[in-house]
Amino acid sequence: MIRGSIVALVTPMTSTGEVDYSALEALVEHHIAAGTHGIVAVGTTGESATLPTNEHVEVVKAVVKTVAGRVKVIAGNGANSTAEAIELTKAIAPLGVDAFLNVTPYYNKPSQKGLIAHFEAIADASDIPQILYNVPGRTAVDMLPETVAHLAKHDKIIGIKEATGSIQRLKDIQALVDGEFILLSGDDETGLAFLKQGGHGVISVTNNVAAKRMADMCNAVAEGDVETAEQIDSGLRDVHSAMFVESNPVPVKWALSRMGLIPECVYRLPLVQPELNTQKIIEQALSKAELI
């Protein structure tokens, strides 16, 4: 089962805006050494919305090659066009990923029936398992628990990344799916509460800057040591918050550059460098957590 501390990996870029594959390889090795249980390549944090298909595929290929089977690799394959998502799915499927992470279609605001049709069509396009991704704060559409339960009946749809930050939402989904359906938090601030409620893991932005601590927290919960998990999470609360003081991945990329984990802090437009006051908030959080 896919579970534990899963990093929503950034995509490092050079000063000229190209993907920095050397830095990407180094980041992957950093996470494996830190005990990260899985890597999401080219999800929202990896700037999937602004990487064209060829680059998207190449980044996933590079991550799979570097990982070499040591941890799980999950590839983002979502789009607001079903046809585009299917095209991306078919391009990535031969690369050796363990699963796809498929976000709800943004901007279109489909109905629940539309969501079902969208996700089933994509799942039918590949033998690779699919993990649903619900993040209404960014997509303007909320996939309801009943819709998740319907999709969970598809043999290729194996779980969900639930990023509403609502533990009640987790409980509602748990009541409608069986114990084999993978439940992953997509909200760092409530990630520990999600795990304590029976969630299987956290797809984390904070993991980028605190990989070992996030892995240790997830391991502690799995071992029944909730006290240790709470101590770790308490020390990261300001970091959780700071990573979203501007739109993700603006803060986390700046933080990684400040920590020396990526050589350049470069984004694809329309994302740009964080405001100076934002930089101070991020730096203070990193300093308080003793990450710099």
As annotated, the active-site residues are: 133, 161
Q: What are phi and psi of 23, to 5 degrees?
A: -65, -35
In order, the DSSP letters of 181-205 are SEEEE--GGGHHHHHHTT--EEEES
User: What value, to the nearest 5°, has the Cα angle with vertex 287 and ends 283 and 291?
Assistant: 105
**208: helix, strand or coil:** helix
Both structure tokens of 139: 């997509």
- Whole-angstrom distance, CA of residue 111 vs CA of residue 165: 22
Both structure tokens of 205: 């932005």
- Inter-residue long-range contacts of 211-217, CB under 8 Å, 24+ positions, other chains counted: 211/5, 211/7, 211/30, 211/31, 211/34, 211/35, 211/36, 212/34, 212/35, 214/5, 214/7, 214/36, 215/4, 215/5, 215/34, 215/35, 215/36, 215/37, 216/35, 217/5, 217/192
Both structure tokens of 82: 């079903």
Please list the residues that pair with 159 across neighbouring strands: 131, 182
Annotated binding residue at 206? no
Annotated binding residue at 36? no
| Alpha helices (H) in the chain, listed in sequence order | 21-34, 53-67, 82-92, 112-123, 136-139, 145-151, 167-174, 191-196, 211-222, 226-242, 250-259, 276-288
Q: What are phi and psi of 268, to 5 degrees?
A: -90, 130
Binding residues for pyruvate: 45, 203
Going by the annotation, the residues of the binding site are 45, 203
